[in-house]
Chain A
């Protein structure tokens, strides 16, 4: 079957196939590396990320609070996005609130209150409820805010507090309307790592807004999002398009991810093209081989050799070659991954020095693809001869 004059085209197609497969495997591996690296770096609870978004306040919208609020239809639109697992509007107080520690601590400050759907709160004690007529308001305070208090407390002559003590101190929550005011007794019932706010039961805030502000404000100033992945490029594109603002730090990785994924997708597509080109070159080479051996093949068919059997025999000769090419590319990819992990990523624990199983699977698929296309072509050529 083989004649020396075909050697160069054979080697060209082998090398082309090798380079294409290597490019493809490396791109897929790097793609997976990026996914693994960028999955980390955000607070994840129960496999979800929680972030709050606001509208971008510009010079044009500055004096018009209604333009900076999320209306019901906008909230519905956000809910419909496939990459958003859940949305809860953060309802803010529409009246003046003052917080003081009463006689226990000489501390008093203007404050804000917010309310959120209960299922979005990470630390929800059973006593976080309120009903009309209650004088007591349970409060969930952001751990970050509590930390800030402990930082500035010594400078103000206030005592630093432990979380347990803080939960024991009754606070007075004074709510001021235009012509009425009520002072409630509040108590911190939990601290939240997730929500940067001072949370009160939602029904309390709805009642208080109605009582103290007269305006029946339904719209939310912030939306609290439950996300599968805060670094999802789709999410970032969506938020940018809607001019919604999210904490930049939390999406910075996601923005890099978009660029890197783009580069490696491009490289992967290029690798795939090279693989296809190499397979085409290989099919031309095979046609040449069959054409040059035409007489011999015809005689074998005349003698009674089955075209399917002959085809299998001819194609099987290339199977070890394909396996060798893909295996070599796989070893090179493994070396690349090891060097990348060791020398560029300094053995970061999110990554592995070994190639991902998807890359192995892809390599197997490529071998199978090459064998099947080859076998089909040879069979077709032989059937034409017989």
Chain B
């Protein structure tokens, strides 16, 4: 899947940002297999960018295109279909159903498009060391456990683009590396584009492109 951004800038940012940023106000095009690392210190609009790309917010000027189609013209149903089959996301604030168990949270996503069998959830949970917490309520899990659940959730669907917003902020280095390995394995199988926004340059992530926001 091809992702293009053209002259993008949040409406709440000054025009000067365009001159200092490698993303804002620029024309960028990413395609299958690209591993894009966006380095963004706090306050540079990292979460805004990810939200814009997932159409969770539309407070920007410029345009975002998926396979040449402007995202602003996608209908609500088309957006649902895009999120179900083409674009996956790992959000910084995680967003789990707190009253459901981790396994139920993962099943809710898997059933939307059963790309993987249920056994794969358990395998991935084992890889990331959260298999013993699968039956715990999400609200009773630590941030680290919740973050790993969110990573697994993002990998349960088919996708051409994976958006990640500080996906390892609550993980230690060893666990983060396990997660990166799993993500790379899953994206390689799909030949997907990964857009990874992080505060600093990610270690252990073999980025093909590096941009400063």
Contacts and interface: CB of A to CB of B under 8 A. Distances in A.
Interface stretch (B1-9, B31-39, B77-85, B179-187): B77-85
B112 A383 contact: no
B50 to A, nearest CB: 12
Contacts of B96: 299
Nearest to A385: B76
A299 B83 CA distance: 12
Contacts of A302: 54, 56, 83, 89, 95
B77 A306 contact: yes
Nearest to B85: A304
Interface footprint category on B: 20 to 34
A296 B97 contact: yes
A140 B42 CA distance: 110
B108 A383 contact: no
Contacts of A303: 83, 108-109, 112, 153
B157 interface: yes
Interface in B26-66: 54, 56
Contacts of B153: 303
Contacts of A296: 97
Interface in A358-386: 383, 386
Contacts of A309: 80
A305 B80 contact: yes
A299 B80 contact: no
Nearest to B108: A303
Contacts of A386: 76, 79-80
Main secondary structure of the interface of B (DSSP, over half): helix
A121 interface: no
A296 B97 CA distance: 7
Interface in A296-345: 296, 299-309
A302 B80 CA distance: 8
Interface string A271-315: 000000000000000000000000010011111111111000000
Nearest to A309: B80
A307 B95 contact: no
Contact of B81 (A301, A306, A383): A306
B108 to A, nearest CB: 7
A304 B112 contact: yes
B76 A383 contact: yes
Interface of A: 296, 299-309, 383, 386
16 contacts: A299-B95, A299-B96, A299-B97, A301-B80, A302-B54, A303-B83, A303-B108, A304-B81, A304-B85, A305-B80, A305-B112, A306-B81, A307-B76, A307-B77, A309-B80, A386-B76
Minimum-distance CB pairs A-B, first 9? A304-B83, A304-B84, A306-B80, A386-B76, A307-B76, A299-B95, A303-B109, A306-B77, A304-B112
